[in-house]
Structure 1
Amino acid sequence: MPRFHAPLAALLLAAALAAPAARAQAGSLEVKVTDEAGAPLAGVVARVDGVACGRTGADGRVKVGALSAGWHAVKLTRDGRVGLGLGMLLPAGGIAAVEVGLPRARATAIPLPGLKVFAARDGDFAADRAHGGRSAKGPGRRWTGGDILRRKPGRLTDVLRDAPEVEMMDGANGAVLRFRRAFAAREGSPRQVGLAPPDCAPAYYMDGVRFEGLETPDVFPPAEVDEVVLYAGNVPAAYGGMRASCGVVVIRTRGVPAPENKPRARADYHRPGAPKPIAPPVRKFARPSAKQSQPHS
């Protein structure tokens, strides 16, 4: 007769009791997608935390279960529609539901799948920009997809925490990113140049969409991120400008084209054959005649 070991029995019993509890703590996300007219939109691909989890049906709904409590990144895409990213906070054992709309996309060139190539100079490997590089488009600190992949991070905060203006704090739902407020040293001021306490929560933008109430960038899988730009100050007008006093974190995922910051074309009336500018109409008033100017007797 086989002997049943007590430690093994206790372990199996604990696992059997823990399995229902784990299933009870798991929650689910439900998203309904509509078009411009509010009608359900079918065929929308839903990715949760970088993993494809299904498509919307005829009712425009998709439901993803067996998810842990906390923040989750939801990305919705469909051919011919503008993609959308959402940050959803899932309570333990609960359900988070939201309804969103996907507008039609403008006709653009079809992007072809490419191959990531990292530049090297004089036989050396490309430099690893651990602290990010200064953005050529503005005052922000920028990481490319290559910078992120070379670090092989488990979370996005593993890359961003090395920036000198960033301070990571422990939150209830993961690491919380804060910007240290830099202040300029004035002549005769007793303060020294440095960084103030990290008490300011930045705004988050992903693929041009602002996330409300989001405090951690870890909802975005590093493998899905193609660019990160941190604006601790001097925020561009497209992301709030002076109103974004706490800074901005801009994230662009793979497959989404980079925004074009081109100035608006202006009409050149000096080139040969150009149309003449339209002058504003001039209202002419007739002068009164001598008879009209004489007073009545």
Structure 2
Amino acid sequence: MGKRSKRRKLQKKIQRRARLVHPSRKPIKPSSYKDSEGNIVSPIELTFPIIRYTEQAQFEAIGTGFFFHPAGGFITAKHNLFTNGKYDENCFAIHSVGKGQHLVRKIQYFEPHPNADIGVGMLRGQLLDSQTHQMHLRASLSLSLTPPQVEDDISTLAYPRMKIRKEKFGKFPCDRYTGVIIEHRPDGTAKLPNECYVTNMQMQSGSSGGPVLRGNHIVGVNCSSFELGMEDEPISFITPVHLVFDLPLTDSDGHITTIRELMNSGHVHFVK
């Protein structure tokens, strides 16, 4: 069966499932979310845009990342931070600090999954409260131990409409899209060769790496999509978040741990 025939077959399956849940074709203005501590926070406190400094001495929009740890631990799609198979040290996070102000933060390190389009990293440096001089902890999202299920309602937060000027300033509106899980592909697809899920959620350029949420909890990461016509049902692919649970992480003291160990010790919040 050719690629076009497979794509048409997948579209028909998505259209049948979409009769129950209609995906949002246009961005929805995100409402407030509950972070891992149960606090009501803005989506821009939980996520951030990723940009790259190019050889032409300009900044370009790359994708989205999100926090799983209040000290700056984040997850994103591996391809956001890799160029031609190599880690790109010229990538930065646009960190919102409130009142429309942003900081450009260097990525301290990134540990990619060896075979999947996902990875985990840490932003460089610490933010200190200007009054107390104590470390300012980021709001973070809770990880779900229960994998996505077919027909689960899902949503994502991402920055496909970010605009950057040469001086690194710009606009970074956070958008929300909704959809449903259509199919589980344990062995991946030609579009995404690792274990993945097919969804009918809209995924545009700049959405890669954004969190896929079931309710307020992370179940996956945006990775890729087909470019289709305006009348076609969206087809996108997400990587399940559990694939990063056992990746090695190195803290500031050189100690090696994993997200699973951090969850077991109470340092990373999760739900079953």
**Which band: TM-score by shorter chain?**
under 0.3
TM-score with structure 1 setting the length:
0.20
TM-score with structure 2 setting the length:
0.22
Higher relative contact order (CA 8 A, sep 6+): 2
